[in-house]
Structure 1
Amino acid sequence: MAKFLTLEEWCNETYSVETRPSIQTLQRWARNGNIYPAPEKHGRRYRVKPDAIYINPNDLALGKKIKDAQSDEPARSAFLKKVINDTAAHKV
């Protein structure tokens, strides 16, 4: 069973002191799906896996970041599968 961290603990391990986001920002990221794998709500607090990453939806390398961060278990949503497989048509 994987150990879960609170958003604050994850933030302290992931970000330097100068660039740490506020707790409100971390909670918004958790609600909006900007953290992968998605945090789980345990009671009133979000818990996240230690190897979780922040994903920017406007990032062109999003699929690669998710694929690199993905564990052995398959992606849970069709959106993530679509991003990972890069099935969206690219128009220039």
Structure 2
Amino acid sequence: MKLIPLPVWLEQTFGEHQPTINTARAWCRQGRIKPSPKKIGRTYYLQPNAEHVNNANSHPRLIERILGETA
């Protein structure tokens, strides 16, 4: 599959309401884009069908601590 640079993916995915490039780079580092982007040099490349995923459920104990549900 052909890969596209992160700024192109942002434009295609979010249009005029896209997040900043720094936010998108953070998503790449944090594993919040699936399938995972490839970093070549200083640029992230993604599959055109890549999606942002919410990792809130991957840290349930942290969420519970934040909400004050556990000690």
Say whether the fold is shared (TM-score over 0.5). Answer: yes
| Bigger Cα Rg | 2
TM-score, normalised by the number of residues in structure 2: 0.76
TM-score, normalised by the number of residues in structure 1: 0.59
**Structure whose residues are more often helix by fraction:** 2
The number of residues matched between the two structures is 58
**Structure whose residues are more often strand by fraction:** 2
Task: Give ranges in structure 2 of 5+ residues lacking alignment.
Answer: 59-71
Alignment of 1:1-80 (within 5 A): 2-17=1-16, 19-58=17-56
Higher relative contact order (CA 8 A, sep 6+): 2
Task: Give ranges in structure 1 of 5+ residues lacking alignment.
Answer: 60-78, 80-92
Runs of 4+ in 1 over 4 A off after TM superposition: none
